[in-house]
């Protein structure tokens, strides 16, 4: 059964339009079995160009029913039908928008006679309704009025059904109904997830975690999994039975928790997490002449590095940036051969440490400034950021340069004493990936507050 629809609207900004007229013809493939035609008071102004186009003005709509008064009839006449329209996405969007304003979800499978016409009647000069039906000999009266356009669309649909020898339209309807049922299932799962920052888990029918992700808007991200067309997305859609989520408030905590949870659960659809591949570290040393040196080395879990990097290219780019910023010698940061003076010396960008023209005391002070920017500013820190509510703050504890865990505290809670902080912290693994995440995030993002516990002691 088909519900052939046409709506006229007020025009205006996207999703701020209102319906001014609607016509629905219930069509069984042979004849019209029911119909509904009505003006609608949109309770908003009509754009002047729309008045000229349709002839519908605000005076005509003063006594017309409002949408909520015709909503029940629209639901009834389109029940168990495929919604058909010329440019169906527009008419369906308008109906869905009006129902959403009433707090009701309106869902129907759809068919678009524009798309069908392009498949079954190719090489037409135009697929606009007026020009198309005229070229096909279909009469059209009351153009740009809902009833006239909907009647013409019924006749167009009948012609398309006659031309559809392969029954592609019927197949499309069946696919649409099946897809609609699947879409409703996923929509229900998506609505269970809040549009907030956190970590989400996709579960199979047994309850096993098959995918873990983090997002600043978990609902939006979960919806992307269910609407994706990639091979991985389709596999996830096929296996997902339920969704759970944990709000974190802080993006940094979401990143840290995602890494920890992936390592714990090893979900089948998560690749080895990109942040686990921390391959290089920045090591500090001293030259024989007393100049502090920095060098990039392969990272080990037990190493005590100024900072870490995912790959050599990123390490070299970062180190070069900070060397330029703090006027450090390229020779003493390992970016050029140690046998000669650096190229920056010739360009007057190096103060001469590489050839002994600058004292080690002056040079080493700038190295310290660079290190302070790259590493934790103190071995014992509290990183304070957004919480899950306005009255809450997230807390990340760094102790002896190790990541100890995170927790949450009320704004009125005095987060200063280390022993006090430990009571609210959830212990977490001090992995190389976690330390890298904390350092790089604090370096690149605005944090509400960083407290040096050494100064508080």
Q: How many CB atoms lie within 10 A of CB 294?
A: 21
* Per-residue pLDDT, 275: 45
Q: Tell me the pLDDT tens digit for each residue of 328-337.
A: 888 888 888 7
Q: How many CB atoms lie within 10 A of CB 442?
A: 19
* Per-residue pLDDT, 6: 96
* Per-residue pLDDT, 174: 54
What Rg do the C-alpha atoms of the chain give, in angstroms?
32
Distance CA 297, CA 61 (A): 76
Q: Tell me the pLDDT tens digit for each residue of 158-180.
A: 998 888 776 777 666 655 555 55
* Per-residue pLDDT, 455: 66
Q: Which residues contact 3 (CB under 8 A, 6 or more apart)?
A: 24, 25, 26, 27, 77, 78, 81, 82, 83, 84, 108
Among 85, 126, 127, 132, which residue's Cα sits nearest to residue 109?
Answer: 85
In this structure, are strands 292-298 and 209-215 parallel, antiparallel, or unpaired? Answer: unpaired
Among 89, 105, 12, which residue's Cα sits nearest to residue 50?
Answer: 12
Asked if residue 113 lies in contact with residue 149, where contact means CB atoms within 8 angstroms, the answer is no
* Per-residue pLDDT, 421: 80
Task: Tell me the CA end-to-end span of the chain in Å, nearest whole number.
Answer: 76
- Min mean pLDDT across 251-255, 258-262, 442-446 is at 442-446
Question: What are the φ and ψ backbone dihedral angles of 301, each rounded to 5 degrees?
Answer: -60, -35
CA 102 and chain centroid, separation: 27
What domains, with CATH codes, occur in the chain? 2-175 (3.30.420.10), 192-272 (3.40.1440.10), 280-360 (no CATH), 381-456 (no CATH)
pTM of the model: 0.53
Angle, alpha carbons 194-199-201 (nearest 5°):
90
Q: How many CB atoms lie within 10 A of CB 300?
A: 10
The DSSP output letter for 331 is: T
Angle between helices 360-374 and 312-325 (to 10 degrees): 130
More confident residue, 224 or 417: 224
Distance CA 79, CA 443 (A): 56
Distance CA 420, CA 394 (A): 15
* Per-residue pLDDT, 78: 96
* Per-residue pLDDT, 228: 81
* Per-residue pLDDT, 339: 67
The DSSP output letter for 8 is: E
- Within 175-322, strands assigned E span 198-203, 209-215, 242-247, 280-286, 292-298, 308-309
């Amino acid at each position: 059964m088909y519900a052939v629809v046409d709506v006229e609207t007020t025009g205006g900004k996207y999703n701020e339009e209102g319906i001014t007229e609607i016509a629905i013809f219930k069509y069984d493939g042979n004849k019209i079995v029911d119909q509904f035609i009505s003006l609608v008071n949109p309770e908003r102004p009509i754009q002047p160009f729309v008045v000229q186009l349709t002839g519908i003005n605000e005076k005509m709509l003063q006594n017309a029913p409002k949408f909520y008064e015709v909503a029940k009839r629209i639901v009834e006449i389109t029940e168990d039908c495929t919604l058909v329209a010329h440019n169906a996405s527009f008419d369906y969007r308008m109906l869905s928008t009006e129902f959403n304003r009433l707090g009701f979800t309106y869902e129907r499978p759809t068919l678009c006679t524009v798309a069908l016409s392009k498949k079954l009647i190719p090489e037409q000069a135009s697929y606009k309704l007026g020009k198309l039906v005229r070229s096909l000999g279909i009469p059209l009266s009351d153009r740009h009025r809902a009833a006239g356009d909907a009647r013409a669309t019924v006749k167009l649909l009948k012609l398309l059904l006659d031309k559809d020898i392969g029954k592609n339209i019927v197949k499309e309807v069946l696919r649409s109904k099946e897809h609609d049922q699947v879409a409703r299932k996923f929509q229900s799962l998506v609505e269970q997830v809040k549009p907030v920052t956190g970590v989400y888990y996709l579960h199979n029918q047994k309850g096993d975690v098959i995918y873990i992700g983090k997002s600043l808007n978990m609902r939006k991200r979960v919806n992307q999994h269910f609407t994706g067309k990639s091979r991985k997305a389709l596999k996830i859609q096929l296996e997902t039975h339920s969704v759970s989520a944990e709000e974190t408030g802080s993006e940094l905590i979401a990143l840290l928790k995602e890494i920890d949870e992936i390592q714990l659960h090893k979900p089948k659809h998560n690749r080895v997490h990109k942040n686990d591949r921390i391959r290089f570290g920045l090591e500090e040393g001293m030259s024989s002449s007393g100049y502090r040196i920095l060098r990039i080395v392969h990272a080990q879990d037990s190493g005590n590095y100024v900072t870490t990097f995912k790959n050599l290219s990123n390490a070299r780019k970062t180190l070069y940036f900070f060397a330029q910023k703090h006027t450090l010698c390229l020779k003493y940061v390992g970016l050029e051969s140690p046998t000669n003076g650096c190229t920056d010396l010739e360009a007057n960008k190096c103060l001469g440490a590489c050839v002994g023209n600058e004292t080690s005391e002056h040079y080493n002070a700038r190295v310290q400034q660079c290190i302070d920017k790259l590493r934790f500013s103190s071995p014992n820190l509290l990183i304070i950021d957004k919480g899950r509510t306005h009255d809450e703050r997230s807390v990340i504890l760094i102790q002896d340069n190790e990541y100890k865990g995170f927790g949450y505290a009320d704004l009125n809670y005095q987060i200063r004493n280390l022993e006090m902080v430990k009571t609210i912290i959830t212990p977490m693994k001090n992995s190389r990936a976690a330390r890298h995440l904390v350092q790089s995030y604090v370096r690149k993002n605005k944090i509400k507050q960083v407290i040096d516990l050494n100064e508080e002691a």
